[in-house]
């Protein structure tokens, strides 16, 4: 059923392209190779893995366009040889169709979508509706498109209607979508989002509920039975801007629930997202200090962070060299507690041992190359030396992004 829906939407896109007088296309793509030792093997076993993404926008008319985004995450390319089959995960992240209506006091954007659409936590919503530069934390960078910094996903099949006012920098509107985040039933979700971008304040907030559509009650067939209600909320706030000292904040709760048998809300620590990041600017030097508590599923997709709870210091500078318009060099230093969350801190640090935390140093350089951006970094895992795993202490990443 899902494959038929995806195929139908793709066919619709091609029909729109042929019916439109002058369709156009723009895209953004990237890939990252990671070379490291396999952490699950006793003997040294090198792994070469690939992450890649593609985002495209088809402009059918001035007021009608679509987005498509997909990502690829492979297993070890060196397992047998580059010319044998390799386990990989291919995911369609977004297929959407957007219609814009220009009125005297506001512009209305109505969209239907399949996948993860304008997720709260990613700054893609702010970029699309306010035409700003990226403001997200650098520790949430990844090469799987936008999912790295999702507080909770607007994921499923649904529709959204966003209003962007002309008189003040404000955008707001509802989302309605169906997904299968519940283990047993489809979930009907309704969210409300509001965002604003001012000179020294940027805010993006969304909240909503999800209702599992159960078809049985006490073993009997029913049309709809509601045993519990999920709720979720998330916000991104930037006090200041990219050119000043600033404070970047993110907080989110996902799949918290209310049940008829329990008067209080049930919140899982694995569904809590917290990030506090002061950003300091000293002429050409930038210093970001990040305190984070991230869900395990988020950590798997990131480039600089490998643990759920910790602190990261990122110092970098941007300059120009002969033949290169932009050249950035810096380093991340990260201290992470393995498998911990902020609720564990109430017990203090008495149970912290050499095996329960990691210290990583990741020097990196980023520069313009051809028509895109080339990123090279190495990671040194200091604690692996002390644990007697020197062969697993170093990894290298090579990434490239480009717009076309």
DSSP letter for 17, please.
H
Neighbours of 145 (CB within 10 A): 24
Express each pLDDT in 256-265 by its tens digit.
887 766 656 6
Q: Which residues pair with 96 in a beta bridge?
A: 67, 113
Can you list the positions of beta strands (E) in 117-226?
155-165, 170-179, 187-197, 201-212, 214-217, 220-225
Q: In whole angstroms, what is the distance from residue 162 CA to residue 164 CA?
A: 7
Is the pLDDT reported for residue 82 higher than 80? no
DSSP 305: -
Least confident span in 66-70, 236-240, 292-296, 342-346: 342-346
H helices present in 215-336, as ranges: 296-299
The answer to whether residue 114 sits within a structural domain is yes
Sorting pLDDT into bands at 50, 70 and 90, what band is 151? confident
* pLDDT bracket for residue 83 (50, 70, 90): low
Alpha helices in 78-191 (DSSP H): 124-130
Out of 11-25, 50-64, 246-260, 288-302, the most confident range is 50-64
Average pLDDT over the chain reads 86
Does the pLDDT at position 159 exceed 80? yes
Residue 172 lies in a domain: yes
> Which residue in 32, 67, 30 sits closest to 48, CA to CA?
32
Residue pair 157/113 in contact (Cβ under 8 Å)? The answer is: yes
**pLDDT tens profile 304-324:** 888 999 999 999 998 877 656
Q: Identify which of 72-76, 144-148, 261-265, 392-396 has the greatest average pLDDT.
A: 392-396
**Which residue reads 């028509």 in tokens?**
371
Please answer whether residues 342 and 309 qualify as being in contact, where contact means their C-beta atoms are separated by less than 8 angstroms. Answer: yes
Mean pLDDT of 368-374: 89
Residue 375 lies in a domain: no
pLDDT tier, 349 (very low <50, low <70, confident <90, very high otherwise) = low
In a domain, 360, yes or no: no
Structure tokens at 53: 């993404």
146 C-beta neighbours (distance < 10 Å), count: 23
Band (pLDDT 50/70/90 cuts) for residue 326 is confident
Q: What is the pTM of this model?
A: 0.88
Over range 295-302, report the average pLDDT.
82
> In percent, how much of the chain has pLDDT > 90?
50
User: Is the separation of the CB atoms in 69 and 144 below 8 Å?
Assistant: no
392: pLDDT confidence band, cut at 50, 70 and 90?
Answer: confident
Check residue 20 and give its pLDDT.
47
Q: What is the pLDDT of residues 121-143, one digit of tens each?
A: 889 899 999 999 999 999 988 88
pLDDT at 404 over 90: no
Residue 232, in any domain of the structure: yes
Cβ atoms of residues 192 and 233 within 8 Å: no
Name the residue with tokens 């009907």: 188
Instruction: Decide: helix, strand or coil at residue 360.
Output: strand
Q: Is residue 44 part of a domain?
A: no
Contact indicator for 192, 231 with CB cutoff of 8 Å: no
Give 326 or 265, the one with higher predicted confidence: 326
- How many domains does the structure of the chain reveal? 1
Q: What is the model's pLDDT at position 21?
A: 47
Determine contact, residues 171/192, Cβ cutoff 8 Å: no
- Domain with 144, as residue range(s), is 103-283
Note whether 308 and 293 are within 8 A (CB).
yes
């Amino acid at each position: 059923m899902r494959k038929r829906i995806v195929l139908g939407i793709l066919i619709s896109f091609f029909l729109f392209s042929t019916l439109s007088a002058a369709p156009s296309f723009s895209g953004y793509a990237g890939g990252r190779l990671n070379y490291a030792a396999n952490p699950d093997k006793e003997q040294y076993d090198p792994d070469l893995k690939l992450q890649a993404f593609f985002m495209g926008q088809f402009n059918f008319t001035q007021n009608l366009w679509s987005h498509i985004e997909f990502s690829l995450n492979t297993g070890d390319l060196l397992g047998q040889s580059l010319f044998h089959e390799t386990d990989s995960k291919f995911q369609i992240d977004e297929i959407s169709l957007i219609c814009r209506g220009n009125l005297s006091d506001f512009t209305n954007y109505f969209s239907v979508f399949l996948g993860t659409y304008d997720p709260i936590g990613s700054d893609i919503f702010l970029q699309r509706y306010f035409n700003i530069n990226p403001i997200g934390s650098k520790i949430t960078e990844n090469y799987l498109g936008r999912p790295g910094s999702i507080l909770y996903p607007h994921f499923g099949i649904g529709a959204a209607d966003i209003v962007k006012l002309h008189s003040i920098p404000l955008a707001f509107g509802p989302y309605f979508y169906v997904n299968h985040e519940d283990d047993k039933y489809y979930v009907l979700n309704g969210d409300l989002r509001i965002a604003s971008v001012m000179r020294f304040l940027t805010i993006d907030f969304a909240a909503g509920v999800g209702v599992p559509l159960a078809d049985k009650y006490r073993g009997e067939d029913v049309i709809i039975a509601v045993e519990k209600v999920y709720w979720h909320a998330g916000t991104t706030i930037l006090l200041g801007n990219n050119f000043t000292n600033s404070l970047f904040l993110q907080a989110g709760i996902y799949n918290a629930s209310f049940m008829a048998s329990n008067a209080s809300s049930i919140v899982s620590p694995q569904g809590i997202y917290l990030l506090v990041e002061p950003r300091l600017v000293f002429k050409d030097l930038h210093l970001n200090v990040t305190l984070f508590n991230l869900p395990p599923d988020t950590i798997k997709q990131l480039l600089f962070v490998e643990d759920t709870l910790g602190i990261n210091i990122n110092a970098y500078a941007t300059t120009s060299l002969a033949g290169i318009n932009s050249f950035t060099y810096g380093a991340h230093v990260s201290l992470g507690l393995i498998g911990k969350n902020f609720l564990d801190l109430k017990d203090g640090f008495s149970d912290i041992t050499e095996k329960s935390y990691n210290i990583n140093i990741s020097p990196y350089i980023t520069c313009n190359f051809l028509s895109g951006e080339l990123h090279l970094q190495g990671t040194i895992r200091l604690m692996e030396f002390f644990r007697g795993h020197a062969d697993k202490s170093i990894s290298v990443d090579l990434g490239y992004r480009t717009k076309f």
